[in-house]
């Protein structure tokens, strides 16, 4: 397990969790740190895309990585969405969709881990859903409420993101159910 911690993919996930701290600090800092926030968000998105790719490419898929990658995603997404919600920069209904999504995945994951010691890896539809949420976060940070085009773009992206979230949750539930069924039959 110690060796697995130092896999590049796992270090990227840890970095993503660490970057949440300065990101939240900058978002709530009061002054206009928009450029720094955007840079941190982009670094977090890139690390999210790279960690799984590198884990597979370098043959470093690990049980630790299966845990810390989605944990890093949830820490980053939920933290930023909560801050944007309290700042009034993200729609209330979308805030609840994101929080409930992550809560469901966390609860299903904990149940599966306790029931039969399985941790489901992140999959591409889930990554795409998180990427869509991240794009909305990025645009909500950029949005200074002066651009009608940006407001309309964000409102359309909310619905696209919800469709992606529902689809990825459906696929996650199918994998969850199959994993439960596999252990009860064996």
| CATH number of the domain to which 86 belongs | 1.20.120
Q: What is the pLDDT along the chain (186 residues), one digit of tens a residue?
A: 678 888 888 999 999 999 999 999 999 886 678 889 999 999 998 998 888 888 889 988 887 888 888 888 888 999 999 999 999 999 999 999 999 998 998 888 888 888 877 777 777 888 889 889 999 999 998 887 778 899 999 999 999 999 999 999 999 889 888 888 765 544
Q: Indicate whether 171 belongs to any domain.
A: yes
Q: Residue 186 has what pLDDT?
A: 44
Q: At what angle do helices 34-57 and 124-142 cross, to 10 degrees?
A: 170
Domain that holds residue 124: 2-180
Query: Using an 8 Å Cβ cutoff, are 38 and 141 in contact?
Result: yes
Domain tally for the chain? 1
Q: Indicate whether 185 belongs to any domain.
A: no
Q: Indicate whether 172 belongs to any domain.
A: yes
Other Cβ atoms less than 10 A from the Cβ of 105: the count is: 21
Q: Indicate whether 17 belongs to any domain.
A: yes
Q: How many angstroms separate the CA atoms of 64 and 67, rounded?
A: 5
Question: What is the pTM assigned to this prediction?
Answer: 0.85
DSSP 122: P
Q: Indicate whether 186 belongs to any domain.
A: no
Q: Indicate whether 59 belongs to any domain.
A: yes
Q: How many angstroms separate the CA atoms of 153 and 12, rounded?
A: 30
Q: Residue 117 has what pLDDT?
A: 79
């Amino acid at each position: 397990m110690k060796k697995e911690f130092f896999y590049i993919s796992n270090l990227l996930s840890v970095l993503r969790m660490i970057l949440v701290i300065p990101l939240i600090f900058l978002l709530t800092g009061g002054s206009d740190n928009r450029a720094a926030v955007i840079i941190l968000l982009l670094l977090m998105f890139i690390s999210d895309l790279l960690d799984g790719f590198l884990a597979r490419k370098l043959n470093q898929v690990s049980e630790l990585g299966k845990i810390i990658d989605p944990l890093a995603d949830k820490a980053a997404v939920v933290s930023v969405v909560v801050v944007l919600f309290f700042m009034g920069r993200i729609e209330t209904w979308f805030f609840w969709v994101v929080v409930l999504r992550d809560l469901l995945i966390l609860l299903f994951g904990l149940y599966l881990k306790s029931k039969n010691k399985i941790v489901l890896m992140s999959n591409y539809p889930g990554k795409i859903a998180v990427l869509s949420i991240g794009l909305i976060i990025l645009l909500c940070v950029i949005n200074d409420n002066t651009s009608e085009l940006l407001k309309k773009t964000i409102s359309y992206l909310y619905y696209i993101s919800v469709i992606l979230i529902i689809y990825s949750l459906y696929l996650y539930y199918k994998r969850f159910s199959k994993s439960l069924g596999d252990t009860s039959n064996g």
